[in-house]
Chain A
Amino acid sequence: MNLRVPRVKGLGLVAWLAGILFFLPIAWMVLTSFHSEESAATNPPSFAASLTLDGYRDFFGTAGGASPWPALVNSTVASLASTLFVLVLALPAAYALSIRPVRKWTDVLFFFLSTKMLPVVAGLLPIYLFAKNAGMLDNIWLLVILYTSMNLPIAVWMMQSFLAEVPIAVIEAARIDGARLPTLLARVVAPIAMPGIAATALICFIFSWNELLFARVLSGVVAQTAPVFLTGFITSQGLFLAKVCAASLVISLPVLAAGFAAQDKLVQGLSLGAVK
Chain B
Amino acid sequence: MTATTTVPVAHARVGTAKSPGRLRAWATRAPLLPALVFMIVVTQLPFVATLVISFFDWNALYPDARRFTWFANYGEVLTDPDLRKSVLTTILLTATVVVVSLVVGLGLALLLDRKFRGRGLVRTLLIAPFLLVPVAAALLWKHVLYNPEYGLLNGLLHYVGGPQPDWISNTPLLAVETALVWQWTPFMMLILLAGLQSRSPELIEAARMDGAGNWQVFRYLTLPHLRRYLELGALLGSVYIVQNFDAVFTITSGGLGTANLPYTVYQSFYQAHENGLASAAGVLVVIGSIIIATFALRVVSSLFREEASRA
Contact = CB atoms under 8 A, between A and B. Distances in A.
Contacts of B36: 93, 108, 111
Given A212-B245, A236-B143, A274-B303, A101 B10 contact: yes
Given A15-B111, A15-B116, A22 B136 contact: no
Contacts of B42: 145-146, 148-149
A210 B135 CA distance: 8
Contacts of B290: 117
B194 A123 contact: no
A154 to B, nearest CB: 11
A168 B144 CA distance: 54
Interface string A20-31: 101111101100
Interface stretch (B67-75, B153-161, B169-177, B217-225): B153-161
Contacts of A8: 114-116
Contact of A274 (B186, B292, B304): B304
A209 B236 contact: no
B289 A11 contact: no
Contacts of B31: 92-93, 95-96, 181
Contacts of A92: 31-32, 34-35
A129 to B, nearest CB: 8
A83 B91 CA distance: 33
Contacts of A255: 131-133
7 contacts: A92-B35, A96-B28, A110-B5, A118-B43, A213-B245, A226-B133, A227-B136
Interface of B: 1, 4-7, 9-10, 13-14, 16-17, 25, 28-32, 34-36, 38-39, 42-47, 49-50, 53, 107-108, 111-112, 114-119, 121-136, 139-145, 147, 149-152, 154-156, 158-159, 164, 182, 185-187, 190-191, 193-195, 198, 229, 232, 236, 239, 242-243, 245-246, 249-250, 253, 261-262, 265-266, 269-270, 275, 278-279, 282-283, 285-286, 289-290, 292-293, 296-297, 300-301, 303-304
Interface of A: 8-9, 11-12, 14-16, 18-20, 22-26, 28-29, 32, 40-45, 89-90, 92-93, 95-108, 110-130, 145-146, 148-149, 152-153, 156, 164, 168, 181, 206, 209-210, 212-213, 216-217, 226-227, 230-231, 233-234, 236, 238, 241, 244-245, 247-249, 251-252, 255-256, 259-260, 263, 266-268, 270-272, 274-276
